[in-house]
Structure 1
Amino acid sequence: MILWPSSCQTTSKPNMEWISPMRSSRRSSVAILPDSTASISRASSRAWKTTRLLSASAPTPVQPPQDSEKANTMIREIDLEAVRTAAGAVRDPEIRRSLAEMGLLDEVQVVDGQVTVHFHLTSPLCPTKFATSIGQEIRKRVEAIPGVASCQVVLRDHFLQAKIQESINARGRR
């Protein structure tokens, strides 16, 4: 007895229409005839071969790491897109738009769990209070991401850049 995929069998009407699993735009007809012979279309044949190939290949099990010390010392990868999203979601308190919306994030670097975020403001004369607030919020959000050991925030193109960066990156304040 020949076993066909269940999608190829019809028992009620001989020329019943069906949609091929390989190409939904192509229609083919399949019927199981009374004398146990079956007619099958070319598309159905391809689908059957694919089904056989997929069922024949068993998934290979994932091997656990051989050296447990090596597994414990592996550095967690940090999702760069998550860092950009977190930093870009910080809103400018004056303009009330996110840094990403205004294109103020310049660069994101990740080295061994240490993240550095470079950004600039809409004006090099932005008030120190706002610039510091934005930078501290960037640092707080990025450090909340799993795998981030620390975050260094670099402000570009501001007339009080050094003073603001020192305030943003001070470890005692958050």
Structure 2
Amino acid sequence: MKIIVLGLGNTLLGDEGVGIHALRRVERDWTASNHDDVSFVDGGTLSFALTDVLHEADRLVVIDAAQLHAAPGTVRVFENQAMDDYVGRGKYSSVHEVSLAELFDMVRLTDTLPAQRALVGIQPRDVDWAEQPSPPVNAAIPRACRLVHTLLETWGA
């Protein structure tokens, strides 16, 4: 079983980089527990090159800034079909090179979309030049990380 945790975002654009900031924290904490069956991938602003990474995954957690139409720092988890619906219906807006929906469509062509998948989305406040997330988004990172840990444990990692 191969589990991939994929952090997305641009760390030079404030809250847009929250997926990468959270990924680094999850990786630090999880690696300290010595679980070898989980890989952590900095996906940056997404590209079709990530299709190779997704082809290898049985399970996938994506961490990213997401337009949730909620207060900045709100964290929500979308799993499996709920994730597909959220990403595919244009509700998931991002400034990435390619969309997550497009990436998933490419992986579906080879019928290798991870059977279990989840999006941990964090509502941004500021997507402007800044190296750190805004205070409410930065404060949401620990909660997002706990949710990722819960998913990994539920999936038997």
TM-score range, shorter chain: under 0.3
> Structure 1 length as normaliser, TM-score?
0.23
More relative contact order in 1 or in 2 (CA 8 Å, sep 6+)? 2
> Which has more radius of gyration?
1
Structure with a larger share of its residues in helix: 2
